[in-house]
Structure 1
């Protein structure tokens, strides 16, 4: 399928049929379990530091280092996976990641801060690239484009739930027992989820495409992909700005719960939007759907400019969350079409990194605007404007030449 084509408009399947397809539920469930540490580890590390008597600033530093190391290493791990397969990369990575988290509970965080920093960075660098790996498996697991469309929407829509369930689980374990136990559970879940995925036949037998004789078609960064990744930085800026805006809303209205409720509403919108989007296929090419989804994402942020009170604000963030799944799902489709077959997993990892960089940038900018409510409320819309402007100007769906002629079939 080319970027100007799409599955039959209105074609439907059921979630039961998709999840009942061989290995789909196992791969999706294992990936979600294995990625729970992404939402758990930063919170557990922060709580461990404060419980050990360390400062909140040092705990925040360690938490940020873990997330940053995990994000920045994604493309490297993706490229290694494209060269050596999933088992040889994600298996050792998961073991090293879990070992680092367990070591942190043994060594502690305040006795030797430098050692704690090294352990946290190693743990983040070793976080297994399960999300990119799963996206690489869908074409072989679900050859039918309609079912693959549904699986991708379900996969994308459930990602935000990790950052709701993960911190809640850490909070519950830390309250009932200790942050150290929360880190032990985090390490265990990471190993368990990765094992579930890697022992499934589609992952064990997956092999990267054979590298061609010429290096031309192995070039990853075409102008289309650069534009797409740049646009996704804008999407990340909106999300990162929203997270800080939520904390500011909680402080302004003296409602601590808002700091968690607003991101939860956004993630719930993403999940439900993914369910609706994946229920059927929609008219238009992937590029057109990406543009429409980004436009809806932008419009969804505009009510924040009116500085709504808590209840309208909670309802408002639901809308951009619903469009986020369309944006990310179609971004993955276009990435798969434009990336060379030998580097698809690496390309997915760059996509994930682009959003992560945007989130960090948005959070940093929002911190500067914390004392300016109107500017802070406008930041998510500004990020969405950046994303839509880049997409309209660059039209990243145009296939590159000469590699664009051999592309694979995708939803």
Structure 2
């Protein structure tokens, strides 16, 4: 507790933490807000899923480009361009009821998503002294996942109490405040990208990166289906107001899971911890094959999915750091997100059509099947990831904790 107080007494650390909160809250609201806005204006689950899909695929494709630009030129100027653009597009979408205009605006919205999480991750090394670095990472992750708990609740409350358009306008205000606060912070201006090692293998030729990209495609497709299948199930059961609380319940489980990961990662190698955590996660999502209607049981399942899946991103990013080429600290993460996000958008579009045509239970069934496929890829391809079969250093554990910041978001 004393270390956390020391961090909060540091002016730059306090500003860094507070500046990211509004933007992270906005990102945790955007998906559900966009879903309800399109559903309310078109009365079509298929169009809602398609709009989210287009938004996701555009955000995913541009994530890799944005990450590469950050590795080369820094982050401040990129935030100055993307934050106002993203805010403007959110407002355009919120005032639009035309299906074609919504699709076009959603595409631009994805392309202009500010890389908030990618930008904030490396700044803690500047904001605090080395002895406080590990605690600052933990504080940052707790703040992030706290926003993922409140975001869906706030989004569903505004969307159903007022309208999805007002939820999107709330997101616009939050992203502008948080994004500009981060862009103008002294630590952002002082950050210098990691230098590349001459003669090192390129990102695209790395076998480990290729395997993780393929795995990310399966996971992205499955969770894109989940992000649409869950609110679709709640809507079709005339319990749309439960979608946000169920997502929030999963967020609570994720917070607890992340805290558990820090203990495990000190005792076993990153790769072994990832495989064990992945296996437990597979078991936690299998009930979605049978439990799909909003009920107390689904709340329990969502909590267990979050609890089991919480540690996995930490070990995943430890493995990524072990196999990626030097000089690709941001780009490697960004291109993984690009593949995952592109397939998430496809999963969202497919799930929306399936939910409307055959029922939400079949849309939700995509998630456990996709997670199982991803697990089998890692299990049978573990030799390719052998460089991660070691116990990580304290700094690597901290980096992984921060990199685990909601891999399912664009920012």
Q: Same fold (TM over 0.5)?
A: yes
* Aligned residues of 2:264 and 2:273 also touching (Cα < 8 A): no
User: CA 1:114–1:231 in 2, change beyond 3 Å: closer, same or farther?
Assistant: closer
Q: Structure 1 residue 284 and structure 2 residue 268: aligned?
A: yes
* 2:374 aligned residue: 387
* 1:327 aligned residue: 312
Separation in 2, partners of 1:338, 1:142: 27
Gaps of 5+ in 2: 398-411
Q: Structure 1 residue 135 and structure 2 residue 135: aligned?
A: no
User: CA 1:355–1:19 in 2, change beyond 3 Å: closer, same or farther?
Assistant: farther
Q: Structure 1 residue 345 and structure 2 residue 334: aligned?
A: no
* Aligned residues of 2:160 and 2:241 also touching (Cα < 8 A): no
The match for 1:294 among 270, 278, 287 is 278
CA shift for structure 1 position 87: 0.3
* 1:203 aligned residue: 188
TM-score for both structures, normalised by structure 2:
0.77
* Aligned residues of 1:145 and 1:410 also touching (Cα < 8 A): no
* Aligned residues of 1:41 and 1:183 also touching (Cα < 8 A): yes
Matches within 5 A, 1:352-363: 352-363=337-348
Separation in 1, partners of 2:353, 2:34: 25
Query: What is the aligned length?
Result: 388
Matches within 5 A, 1:58-97: 61-97=50-86
User: CA 1:353–1:88 in 2, change beyond 3 Å: closer, same or farther?
Assistant: same
The match for 1:99 among 74, 84, 88 is 88
* Aligned residues of 1:211 and 1:218 also touching (Cα < 8 A): no
Matches within 5 A, 1:219-368: 219-247=203-231, 250=234, 255-278=239-262, 282-307=266-291, 310-364=295-349, 366=351
Matches within 5 A, 1:101-180: 101-104=90-93, 108-110=96-98, 117-138=103-124, 147-148=133-134, 152=137, 155=140, 159=144, 162=147, 164-173=149-158
Q: Structure 1 residue 398 and structure 2 residue 386: aligned?
A: yes
Secondary structure of the residue aligned to 1:344 is coil
Separation in 1, partners of 2:236, 2:47: 26
Find the structure with the greater CA-based Rg.
Answer: 1
* Aligned residues of 1:102 and 1:183 also touching (Cα < 8 A): yes
Separation in 2, partners of 1:373, 1:181: 26
Kindly provide the CA deviation profile for residues 261-304 of structure 1, in whole angstroms up to 9, marking residues without a partner as x: 43332222112222333468541111121111111111212334
TM-score for both structures, normalised by structure 1:
0.77
Q: Comparing 20-29 with 322-331, which one deviates more in the overlay?
A: 20-29
Separation in 2, partners of 1:217, 1:324: 31
* Aligned residues of 1:220 and 1:347 also touching (Cα < 8 A): no
Q: Over aligned residue pairs, what C-alpha RMSD do you find?
A: 3.9
Gaps of 5+ in 1: 1-11, 401-406
User: CA 1:324–1:15 in 2, change beyond 3 Å: closer, same or farther?
Assistant: farther
* Aligned residues of 2:76 and 2:189 also touching (Cα < 8 A): yes
Separation in 2, partners of 1:288, 1:142: 31
CA shift for structure 1 position 161: 5.2
